[in-house]
Chains A and B, each alone.
Chain A
Amino acid sequence: MSRHAKRSALALACAALLLAAGAARAQSSDNTGQGGGRLAAADGEAVFRVICQGCHMPDAKGAQGAGAYPALAGNPRLASPQYMAAVIFHGRRDMPSFKLAPEGEERFLRGAGLSDAQIAGVINYIRTHFGNQYTDSISANEVAALHR
């Protein structure tokens, strides 16, 4: 493919995304605010129910097909809430990032940005449910420290 064709194909695909994704939601870029739209009021449990359980399943036991989603119940990696925060904030492999993206970025993934407080909230929720019994927790400030 010529470089020009590549660029225009990409631009068109992006334009298509923009349409498919619908209205832009105003979002802050420093990740300290709340997520836009319907997610704004979601606490840790709500975030888990609305987003995480899509892949990690309602019982947090993960799933297995041609590939696997890791369990969040009894997963030794949960020992580090910082690790969890990094994965949620930056994404990992096929798992998208859930940081509050500036408008216009990652249009197909739009609208699912979480604030630092929400990231901390969902981590603390997961680490104290589904049979997980961690006694330490992570704060929004500690999440923020990972990406400042």
Chain B
Amino acid sequence: MHDEISSRAGAAPRSMKRRDLLRMIGTAAGGAAMYQAMSSLGLAAESPFRGTPPLQGAPRGASVLVLGAGMAGMVAAYELRQAGYRVQVLEYNGRPGGRNWSLRGGDHFTELGGFTQHCQFDEGLYLNPGPWRLPYHHHGILSYCRKLGVALEPFVQVNHNAYLHSADAFDGRPRRYREINADYRGHVAELLAKSTQQGQLDQSVGKEDQERLLESLREWGALDRQFAYARGETSSNRRGYDRDAGGGLSARPQPSTPLQLKDVLGSRLWQHLVAGEIYEFQTTLFQPVGGMGRIGEAFGRELKSVIRYGAKVTAIQQDEHGVSVAYEDVDAPGATHTASADWCVCTIPLSILGQLPLNVSPALAEAIAAVPYAASVKVGLQFKRRFWEEDEQIYGGITYTDLPIANISYPSTGFHGGGKGVLLGAYMWGLDAYEFTAMAPEERVRKAVEYGSRIHPQYRQEFEHGIAVGWHRSPFTLGCFGVWSDEARERHYDNLCRMDGRIVLAGEHASYLPAWQEGAVTSALDAIERIHRRATGGNA
């Protein structure tokens, strides 16, 4: 690791202190690179976040106009203001946060086409239509939670007692995650153990290692003494028992019977087993207490005096002296207002930016036009009681299904709280998302209840009301996030991020972390550092 950093930074003498190295990387390649280096060295994880560029000494009177009060825009505004810039922010919505957003009781949402939904959730219940989880290694967004006093709690990603479900497998009945997990692993381990014992691995694995392999397979797959994955104490200790162990006279546990390998394979339920092993979904994940929107709200309070809400940008013009942005008041359209500044951080989603008059280089204009936006839909459903906990012992986590709803996610908080609860009743991409977006909101909710009741029959009795957000109908994004193909990224990504005169773009679309808030945060930090360098006479 240390060598890697040294070579990346050039002819750094080995005796150089780590701090000096990092400072050098920061100066030469920017805060994001410095942060990356810190991450590689394991520093970012073990120490207070130091990736925020220490901008100092804004030129007297220098000003920056930030377009968009989502994560990227507010991070930029927050840091630039601290560095001494005069900052103003224009935001289309009447609230801060952008896609960082929670719908709670009393909120209403009017989507494109004019369909309005009134959220009737009980106190404390919410739906996060956009981002909903924070990986532990997304240091940037986590650092702002800490800085702004946004309380976090664990987000349960993997729940071994939640379900895996396919309409075409096991007569459409859901299986517990732990059953599929244990049985898939157990059978694979048994097969590999057999191959080993039959000498089929002799070519590739030495005799001694074969012994170790067998030993590890027994442990990993919960095999018995004969290396078989079979009904008994060992396998039930992974997949669960028909009757759990207890005390007294009813104490004796009853083992369960593993599913057949062909049934496990044929069900395709194994495809969901890796979800929690992907870096972005590994434990520990967090969520803000009270909803993801708490982060945007906290930023909004911090930046209250500089954000202008209900401002719809209609044109962006720059010349050698500065940037001038025309906008309309959303509530009083017709009259054009103008905001101007020396520099501009533009976080407007490309889906919208591509429609605005904007004098930038052809390369940037082409990049803006090169990124399609994904469809995605989330549905929140309120139920009279938390039946998933009371009846099925599911506390947080996610059920995966091949029904169009794709996911049912259970709240990671408020266990045994009694009273009502809100489930994420659908979270979909691709064709299913297009299809649900094309429905009226109440139809999306109705369908989510209908599909979900095939996994939880209690839906029929307990459902009260719901709310559904199809991101292509979102007036402030016209889609969920920018989908970069490899080819588009190769051709356009650097051009998209490069400063163009006095304008620089930021947002998840200007990152290698598409759809993640961390992408917005790190792109904003990278962008403002380059602005600062230019504003103070350097190259960006």
Q: Which residues of A contact B (CB under 8 A)?
A: 1-2, 5-6, 8-10, 12-13, 15-17, 19-23, 37-39, 49-55, 57-58, 63-69, 91, 93-97, 105-112
- With A and B bound together, what is the CA distance between A24 and B8 in angstroms? 40
| Among B281, B375, B475, B512, contact of A1 (Cβ-Cβ < 8 Å) | B512
A67 and B351 CA atoms in complex are apart in Å by: 8
Residue of A nearest to B404 (CB): A38
The contact of A65 among B478, B483, B489, B522, by CB within 8 Å, is B478
> In the complex, what residues of A have CB within 8 A of residue B475's CB?
63, 65-66
CB pair A38–B355 under 8 Å, yes or no, is: no
On whether the beta carbons of A108 and B435 are closer than 8 Å, the reply is no
Contacts of A8 in B (CB 8 A): 279
Known contacts A2-B8, A16-B280, A96-B374; A50 and B435 CB within 8 A of each other? yes
Q: 15 other contacts beyond A5-B40, A5-B512, with CB at 8 A cut-off?
A: A6-B512, A9-B512, A12-B279, A13-B513, A13-B515, A19-B271, A55-B437, A63-B113, A66-B313, A66-B475, A67-B352, A69-B478, A94-B350, A96-B375, A96-B483
Given A1-B32, A51-B438, A106-B483: A67 and B8 within 8 A (CB)?
no
The answer to the question of B56 belonging to the interface, with a C-beta cut-off of 8 Å to chain A, is no
Residue B312 CB within 8 A of the other chain: yes
Separation of A55 and B478 alpha carbons in the complex (Å) = 8
Asked if B430 CB lies within 8 Å of chain A CBs, one says: yes
* Pair B112/A65 contact, Cβ less than 8 Å: yes
In the docked arrangement, what's the CA distance between A1 and B526, Å?
10
- Cβ of B402 and Cβ of A23 under 8 Å apart? yes
Within 8 A of A (CB), among B434-479: 434-435, 437-438, 470, 472-479
- For B473, list chain A residues within 8 Å (CB): 54-55, 63
Partner of A19, one of B8, B33, B278, B279: B278
- Choose one: B36, B39, B112, B374; the contact of A109 (CB below 8 Å): B374
Interface residues on B, range: 35 or more
In the complex, what distance in Å separates the CA atom of A10 from the CA atom of B493?
Answer: 13
| Residues on B with beta carbons closer than 8 Å to the beta carbon of A55 | 112, 437, 472-473, 478
Question: Nearest Cβ in chain A — how far from B332, in angstroms?
Answer: 16
Quick check: B275 and A19 within 8 Å, CB to CB? yes
Q: Do A93 and B351 form a contact, CB below 8 Å, given A17-B429, A50-B435?
A: yes
**Chain B residues closer than 8 Å to A23, beta-carbon distance:** 268, 271, 402
25 CB < 8 A contacts A-B:
A1-B33, A2-B36, A2-B37, A2-B40, A5-B36, A5-B39, A10-B489, A12-B278, A16-B280, A19-B272, A20-B427, A38-B431, A54-B437, A55-B112, A55-B437, A63-B473, A65-B474, A66-B476, A66-B478, A69-B478, A93-B350, A93-B351, A94-B372, A96-B374, A106-B485
B423 on the A face (CB < 8 A): no
B66 on the A face (CB < 8 A): no
User: Which residues of A sit under 8 angstroms from B373, Cβ to Cβ?
Assistant: 94, 96
> Closest approach, in angstroms, between the C-beta of A40 and any C-beta of chain B?
11
Residues of A within 8 A of B402 (CB): 22-23
Interface presence of B348 (CB below 8 A): yes
Complex formed: what's the CA distance from A2 to B516 in Å? 18
Chain B residue contacts of A52, Cβ below 8 A = 438
Distance in angstroms from B213 CB to nearest chain A CB is 27
Q: How far is the CA of A106 from the CA of B402 in the complex (A)?
A: 19
CB atoms of A65 and B512 under 8 A apart: no
Q: Map CB proximity to A onto B110-154 as digits: 1 under 8 Å, 0 otherwise.
A: 001100000000000000000000000000000000000000000
Pick the residue among B432, B479, B522 that contacts A111 (CB under 8 A): B432
Residue from B354, B427, B476 within 8 A of A93 (CB atoms): B354
Minimal Cβ-Cβ distance residue in B for A20: B429
CA distance A50 to B470 in the complex (A): 13
Contacts of A13 in B (CB 8 A): 280, 512-516
| Complex contacts, B470 vs chain A, CB 8 Å | 54
Q: Quick check: is B410 within 8 A (CB to CB) of the other chain?
A: no
Considering the complex of A and B, which 6 residue pairs feature the smallest CB-CB distances, nearest first?
Answer: A65-B475, A111-B431, A94-B351, A67-B352, A54-B437, A63-B112
